[in-house]
Chain A
């Protein structure tokens, strides 16, 4: 009997080993969210972008230092008046269905993104007035007004090129021009891609297949990498990093992120703006002084994130070093509250009822209390919270913004009077003027100076109080070689290959 059991176990183990061997050239990646529609024109999730990074090449890409580098466009020239940009396209590129990629395809894509009814890229591409095909490998984008962030916009979904044969059900079988092509999607389970043999740089890609498994829990994701059933887990929780560091079969890959978590104060949207905090910038300053960003980072995230006072992270070239985060000063906070003629300031803090935000909210509540803020916590289920956020139906809200490679989509969205994320209805015409000037400025040092000025202005008015920037942590098996994490947290597979 015992012998029979051992034979059975041996057979099972052998079958496991065989299964592993068969998948030797497949990279198995655990992702936290299930991507939405796999169409760059309509997708709205980070998980979607994560998959696109292997499937859909863009006109340009970003380097780890956030500079713009060639991808489907080999180089580009801005017109002297900054109102148009001409791209030279990589010759000989094919979409996964064999259709050639050329200037006509660029025109088709930009027009698709700007005219498709449910396109979410319209706002991003609103500066584009038209596309002119100059030759099969040269195309010009004409702009309504100078718009320096355009290249950054084209380094994301708005710059992803899909086959000119794209139809209505594109999302079910996407066809792009990236290194991996779509094979199958099992809803809420996995997305399988395989290497595109005709890719222009196919030799730089070391895996024959990439499979993205949707595993929402970060502990479970990590356990599966530790067990060897996955090769990479994205977004490992800061509290699990010690486990990764202690496991000699794993490697921790990290990079500073672009995202920001901030306490947005309703200063002008409806009734909820009529609060002491919403009306008086001194009280918002007092609130900022009452909280200790480093302590929040330490307690909630084991000190693995970046405590900071700006919407743009310190790793970004546009970060303003002239505006450092103030140290916690409870006495100064109390003094400001007295100056405002108050002793206790009531605040209602709304947030999505998720683990991290709840933790941060509780820490903020207890810190602010010491200075005289009576913070009432209002946790809400995600969809409800977002709806309240968009309607400006909150006094203070923990906002989580994913950030972008260029400062404009963040700063303009939050601080221009009609910005897309300006849900707290903050309006400072002078600041808006500076943001508009930065938008049109092509010269890097001058643009930097303008954003430094803008940073000083929003940090004076404090319509929102940034607290920290999450960083990216990926756990990978040591057998995965060449992995690099980018500030946008997307997994680029160029140079990634099995070790040895």
Chain B
């Protein structure tokens, strides 16, 4: 097991390096001069030239990359050229927020998606199954931006039950934190709920046809036990893998939800970074996101091993 983890981590390092080189290289192809973007409306060639020199936009990109990498490895993520704030602090500040949002969204997705998928599988072809499928399809197709605004209008403007946005840190108030995260978690979790529901349904349908389920029923076990102990446990194996990978998507998909609810997360950082040509910010965010993604896929494999004894050998 440890050897497996070690091997995976060893592969992760060159992967991250590759991602960073690709990112750095690709950013060079982005049209638009970062120094010009930075100077904005004030079109003063002297200022633009100074900015280009100060942030070394004038150096060849391999040189820029080498400088960036050596600093990054030493823990110096650089400074945002737009706001002049240190990027490392920004990442430390924002990453937990997005991770919390993604975690809560995943909880919503699992709490709704698994039971709904199981029920749909058990009532295959019935009204409930169709209803679940339709709701699932809707969950996948509704744009999160629209859903977010509708929920704000209903629950914040109309009923006044929940805040319309903003983020309350846990350190300030746990209740406040959960209140501020509830609507965003529902919005972000909606698509994931639909995915998990559909996969649970099809996994359960496959498992329910298996011999061991028939055997369990033949033994006279109560149907509830057959489903919970035998069918669901096996049916969940692919779902767990999917959920872990879906978590990575939630992290990267949080952008729009963060935008609608004004949550100061990771997603907003990268969007603003790209549009403002704040390359150092984009670079740091992408590397950290890639690292999380790799970590999550490792967790997925470990979970798979834990659930499927045949792989433990």
**Contact A15–B176 (Cβ < 8 Å):** yes
Chain B residues near A45 (CB-CB < 8 A)? 40
Residues of chain A lying within 8 A (CB to CB) of residue B149: 219-220, 223
Q: How far is the CA of A107 from the CA of B269 in the complex (A)?
A: 38
Residues of A within 8 A of B164 (CB): 223-224, 226-227, 229
Give the docked Cα–Cα distance between A157 and B83 (Å).
17
Q: Are the C-beta atoms of B156 and A171 separated by less than 8 Å? A: no
* Chain B CB within 8 A of A479 CB: no
A401 to B42, CA, bound (A): 11
Would you call B264 and A227 a contact (CB within 8 A)? no
CA distance A270 to B39 in the complex (A): 23
Whether a CB of chain A sits under 8 angstroms from the CB of B171 is: no
Q: Using a CB-CB cutoff of 8 Å, which residues 66-105 of chain B contact chain A?
A: 80, 82-85, 89-90, 93-94
Interface residues of B in 246-274 (CB under 8 A from A): 259-262, 264, 268-269, 272
Considering the chains assembled together, what is the distance between the CA atoms of A172 and B164 in angstroms? Answer: 29
Q: Is A355 at the interface (CB under 8 A from chain B)?
A: no
What is the minimal beta-carbon distance from B83 to any residue of chain A, in angstroms?
6
Inter-chain contact B167/A189, CB cutoff 8 Å = yes
Contact yes or no, B175 A12, CB < 8 A: yes
Contacts of A217 in B (CB 8 A): 259-260
- For residue B33, CB closer than 8 A to chain A, the reply is yes
Interface presence of B130 (CB below 8 A)? no
Q: Note all chain A residues with C-beta closer than 8 A to B38.
A: 44
In the bound assembly, the distance between CA atoms of A402 and B30 in angstroms comes to: 27
B153 at the interface (CB under 8 A from A): yes
* Contact partner, A229, options B34, B36, B166, B260, Cβ 8 Å: B166
Q: Is A1's CB within 8 Å of the partner chain B?
A: no
Q: Which of A158-199 contact B (CB under 8 A)?
A: 169, 171-172, 185-190
- Say yes or no: A227 contacts B163, CB within 8 Å: yes
Indicate if B9 sits at the interface (CB-CB under 8 A).
no
Q: Which residues of chain A are near B173, meaning CB under 8 Å?
A: 15, 19
Q: Does B17 contact A (CB under 8 A)?
A: no
A499 CB within 8 Å of chain B: no
**Inter-subunit contact B40/A387 (CB<8 Å):** no
The answer to whether residues A186 and B157 also contact, given A120-B47, A227-B152, A387-B32 and a CB cut-off of 8 A, is no
Chain A positions within 8 Å of B30 at CB level: 383
B229 within 8 A of A: no
Q: Measured between alpha carbons, how far is A217 from B269 in the docked complex, in Å?
A: 15
Chain A interface extent, by class = 35 or more
Please state if B262 and A214 are interface contacts (CB–CB under 8 Å). yes
Whether B37 is near chain A, meaning CB under 8 Å from some CB there, is: yes
Q: State the CA gap A186–B97 with chains docked (Å).
A: 13
Known: A15-B176, A387-B31. A229 touches B165 (CB 8 A): yes
B93 touches A187 (CB 8 A): yes
Report the minimal beta-carbon distance from B58 to chain A, rounded to whole angstroms: 15
Task: Judge whether B165 and A171 touch: CB under 8 Å.
Answer: no
* A441 at the binding interface (Cβ < 8 Å): no
Q: Which residues of B contact A386 (CB under 8 A)?
A: 32, 36-37, 40
Which residues of chain B from 141 to 193 have a CB within 8 Å of any chain A CB? Answer: 148-149, 152-153, 156-157, 160-161, 163-167, 173, 175-176, 179
Question: What is the distance, in angstroms, from B7's C-beta to the closest C-beta of chain A?
Answer: 37
Chain B residues with Cβ below 8 Å from A34 are 82-83, 272
Min CB gap B145→A, angstroms: 8
Complex CA distance for A35 and B40, rounded to whole angstroms = 12
Are B175 and A220 closer than 8 Å at their CB atoms? no
CB of B48 to closest CB in A, whole Å: 9
Cβ–Cβ < 8 Å partners of A188 in chain B: 90, 94, 264, 268-269, 272
Please report the C-alpha to C-alpha distance between residue A229 and residue B179 in the assembled complex, in whole angstroms: 13
Q: A118-B47, A185-B85 are in contact. Are A213 and B166 (CB under 8 A)?
A: yes
Give CA–CA (A41, B198) in the complex, Å: 56
C-alpha gap A11/B174 in the complex (Å): 13
Q: Mark A192-231, 1 if CB is under 8 A from B, else 0.
A: 0000000000000000000001111101100110111100
B50 touches A118 (CB 8 A): yes
Within the complex, the shortest CB–CB distance from A433 to chain B, in Å, comes to 23
Specify the chain A residue showing the minimal Cβ separation from B174.
Answer: A15
- The residues of A that contact B85 with a CB separation of less than 8 Å are 172, 185, 187
Task: Determine whether the beta carbon of B264 is less than 8 Å from that of A189.
Answer: yes
Q: Which residues of B contact A172 (CB under 8 A)?
A: 84-85
Do A187 and B80 have beta carbons less than 8 Å apart?
yes
Contact string, A1-40, partner B, CB cutoff 8 A, digits 1/0?
A: 0000000000111011001000000000000001111010
Of B32, B43, B153, which one neighbours A420 at CB under 8 angstroms? Answer: B43
* B199 interfacial contact with A, CB 8 Å: no
Q: Tell me if A275 is interfacial: C-beta within 8 Å of chain B.
A: no
The distance in angstroms between the C-alpha atoms of A13 and B176, with both chains bound, is 10
Whether A390 sits at the interface, judged by CB under 8 Å, is: yes
With a cutoff of 8 Å between Cβ atoms, the chain B residues found around residue A223 in the complex are 149, 152-153, 156-157, 164-165
Kindly identify which residue among A44, A215, A220 contacts B39, using a CB–CB cutoff of 8 Å: A44
Cross-chain contact A423 with B82 (CB below 8 angstroms): no
Chain A CB within 8 A of B295 CB: no
Q: Which residue of B lies closest to A168 (CB)?
A: B84
Q: Closest B-chain residue to A221, C-beta based?
A: B262
Minimum CB–CB distance for A384 against chain B, Å:
4
Q: Which of A19, A117, A381 makes the CB contact (< 8 A) with B32?
A: A381
Across the two chains, which residue of chain A brings its CB closest to B168? A19
Q: Is the CB of B42 within 8 A of A120?
A: yes
Chain B residue nearest to A120 (CB atoms) is B42
Q: Please tell me if the beta carbons of B32 and A123 are within 8 angstroms of each other in the complex.
A: no
Is A294 close to B, CB under 8 A? no
Interface check A421, CB cutoff 8 A: yes
Residues of B contacting A36 in the complex (Cβ-Cβ under 8 angstroms)? 40, 82-83
Top-10 shortest CB links A-B: A383-B32, A189-B264, A227-B164, A227-B156, A44-B40, A384-B31, A383-B37, A224-B164, A384-B32, A120-B42
**Told that A45-B40, A188-B268 touch, could you supply 19 new A-B pairs with CB distance under 8 A?**
A15-B173, A34-B82, A34-B83, A36-B40, A36-B83, A44-B39, A122-B47, A188-B90, A190-B264, A220-B259, A224-B262, A228-B160, A381-B31, A383-B32, A383-B277, A384-B32, A386-B32, A401-B41, A420-B43
The 9 sampled A-B contact pairs (Cβ below 8 Å) are A34-B82, A44-B39, A169-B84, A220-B260, A224-B164, A382-B32, A383-B32, A383-B34, A420-B44
